[in-house]
Structure formats: structure tokens, C-alpha cells
Chain A
Amino acid sequence: EVQLVESGGGLVQPGGSLRLSCAASGFTFSNHYMDWVRQAPGKGLEWVGRTRDKASNYTTQYAASVKGRFTISRDDSKNSLFLQMNSLKTEDTAVYYCARRPVGPPGRYGQFDCWGQGTLVTVSS
């Protein structure tokens, strides 16, 4: 069974840091680009960023709202995805989801065919 399980969420003060993890199972993790998507309480979905696979040199993309503060990384040997969040702001409060991009051209297979259950990050003093 394909599964993504996030962990690491919690309460952090403004200006603080937090590292989220996403454990993957049931598929060949190393073959997939992986993304983070967040959802503020009662709000819509916001794409946070992406890490590509080894073949694409693990390059990353970020939303402007987190660029320079958040870093996405992965450890293919442990089937794990990470989101290092620094200089956190109250507006970063959200449920953070990891999501998988299907293997193959996006023009044929699209994005985000599998999601984790999410982990809540609360930034508050």
C-alpha cells in the first residue's frame, strides 16, 4: 500500500525553527519528485515547494512566501522527505502535507496522486 506519513509538527514561537519529516512506503520513493503543500486553518491549499529526483540532481523549487526560509531535502536511502523551516512567522501556521508526483511526464500524469495525512504547525508566542 502506498503511504506517506508526516511527523514533526508542533507549537513554535515566531522566529523559531522546525523540521518536518515525511516517511514513504509502498513505492520506489527515489523515482519520484516530492512536494510540500500547506493549508492554513479554515483556508485553501498552498503549494510550498518541491524536490526533484537524483536524475534531476535533487533540484528544488519554492513558493515566494517561503523562499530563503524553508529548505526541502530528501534521503532516498531512508525513503524520507524533509522540510526545514526557519524564521517562522505566524502566517506559516498550517497543516503541512507531503505529496507525490507520479513518475512520467507531467503532461501525461499530472501532479499529487498521493498525499500524507498532514502535520499541524502552529507558530505563536
Chain B
Amino acid sequence: DIQMTQSPSSLSASVGDRVTITCRASQDIRNDLGWYQQKPGKAPKRLIYVASNLQSGVPSRFSGSGSGTDFTLTISSLQPEDFATYYCLQDSSYPFTFGGGTKVEVK
């Protein structure tokens, strides 16, 4: 199985900060990676697909980059509604696997 190592597991940030979350795959997954946001008690919501494509309706302050084994989700200017937990997902091969999550908290 492909292991997805996500870091950091949590971070504290302020509104307006630039935030970067990384995901490392245990083997080459090309660009078969998505990013999801989850708020407490809610279902995950897709932000980015195929590493760098912005989901329709998602603000442009979210961006994704990377290929192969190293990927990044960047929030260019953190907004109050962005405090949440973020997960990466590899869909290069079965079983699909998620990263452990990054909780973005108020500083």
C-alpha cells in the first residue's frame, strides 16, 4: 500500500497568514493526488484534484502543487472560514490512502 505522510499534523496561524501543508507519498504517484477540507461534524469537501486543479467554487487562495512523491497545499491568505482539518488523498493505486490530516487552528 502507498503511505501518505502529511505534515505538520497541526499548525497555529492567524488570519492573513500564508499556510503550507505537505504530503509525501511512499512511492511515485505521478500527479494522482487530491486535497480535502473537513470542518467539525461535516463531510470532507474537495479543494484540489490531480495535484493542482482547483475545484469549481473553491476560492483562488487555495492552490496545489507537486508531482511524483512530494505535494503541497498552499493557502495564500488564511481566512476565518479556513480553520479546519485538511487531508491529502492518493488515487494512483488501490487501496486509496489518505494522509493523517493537518488541523489548522487559530493562533
Contact = CB atoms under 8 A, between A and B. Distances in A.
Interface of A: 37, 44-47, 61-64, 97, 106-113, 115-118
Contact of A111 (B45, B96, B100): B96
B95 interface: yes
Contacts of B19: none
Interface string B35-62: 0101000111110011001010000000
B25 interface: no
Contact of A109 (B44, B50, B89): B50
Contacts of A62: 95
B87 A44 contact: yes
Given A61-B94, A107-B50, A112-B34, A45 B87 contact: yes
A114 B29 CA distance: 23
A18 B104 CA distance: 35
Interface residues of B, number: 27
Given A44-B87, A107-B31, 10 more contacts: A45-B89, A47-B98, A97-B43, A106-B91, A107-B50, A109-B49, A110-B53, A111-B34, A111-B49, A115-B45
16 contacts: A44-B99, A47-B89, A47-B95, A97-B43, A106-B32, A106-B91, A107-B31, A107-B50, A110-B34, A110-B46, A110-B49, A111-B91, A111-B96, A112-B36, A115-B44, A117-B43
B97 interface: yes
A64 B95 contact: yes
B16 to A, nearest CB: 28
Contacts of B101: 44-45
A113 B55 CA distance: 8
Contacts of B31: 107
A64 B91 CA distance: 16
Which residue, of B34, B46, B53, B55, has the highest number of chain A Cβ atoms within 10 A? B46
A47 B101 CA distance: 14
